[in-house]
Amino acid sequence: MRRTILLLTIALLAGTSFVPESGSPIYSPVFISRESLENSVRYIPGARDMIQTGKIYYNAPYIYVNERYKGVHIINNTNPTRPVNEGFIFAPGCIDMAAKGNILYLDNAVDLVSINLDNKQITKRIRNVFPEPLPPDDFSHFRFSRPEGYVLVEWKRTNR
């Protein structure tokens, strides 16, 4: 009886595919060099379209909206009936952020970066604090090799 159950289990697992079906979306890693990553965070004044938003953080009178893998929108909410999109902090690989006082903390791929919100300058960078983001499909990360000296900052959706 045990042998029959074992054989059925093996047959069932052998018929299960862990590779996405043809036509289903897959994700490809996007890399930038370590040097480019460390020089990438910058403030860009003016509004920018919100396309793939993530977390929202409120620190009166500002609202910070994450643009997944791209950075953070800064919205002045002094007048809640007319919020003003003042600018964007470009930070490749950014998924999360928090603010305390006049300092915004965000992830720049695997690094933790703090930015002074008064002058929009980086005050500190701590390297390799965070793990790299996993792909949304949980399979793509088995199919890439990392170039030496590069950091994964984003997953791009493609179709087979």
CATH of the domain at 139: 2.40.128
Residue 37 domain-assigned (yes or no):
yes
Residue from 136, 149, 160 nearest 29 by CA: 136
Is residue 158's pLDDT more than 90?
Answer: no
Can you give the pTM of this predicted structure? 0.80
Structure tokens at 35: 């040097």
Please state the domain count of the chain: 1
User: pLDDT band at 1, cuts 50/70/90?
Assistant: low
Is residue 27's pLDDT more than 50?
Answer: yes
Residue 17 domain-assigned (yes or no):
no
- Partnered with residue 135 across adjacent β-strands are none
Using only C-alpha atoms, the chain has a radius of gyration, in whole angstroms, of 21
Q: How far is Cα 24 from Cα 11, in angstroms, rounded to an integer?
A: 25
Taking residues 20-30, what's their average pLDDT?
A: 71
Q: List the alpha helices (DSSP H) in 29-118.
A: 34-38
What pLDDT is recorded for position 146?
A: 77
State the burial class of residue 96 (Cβ atoms within 10 Å of its Cβ: 0-12, 13-18, 19+): middle
Q: List the alpha helices (DSSP H) in the chain.
A: 2-14, 34-38
Encode 54-75: b = buried (16+ Cβ within 10 Å), e = exposed.
eeebebeebbbbbbbbbbbbbb
Residue 18 domain-assigned (yes or no):
no
The string of pLDDT tens digits covering residues 50-88 is: 999 999 999 989 999 999 999 999 999 999 999 999 999
Residue 66 domain-assigned (yes or no):
yes
Which structural domain range is residue 73 located in?
Answer: 23-159
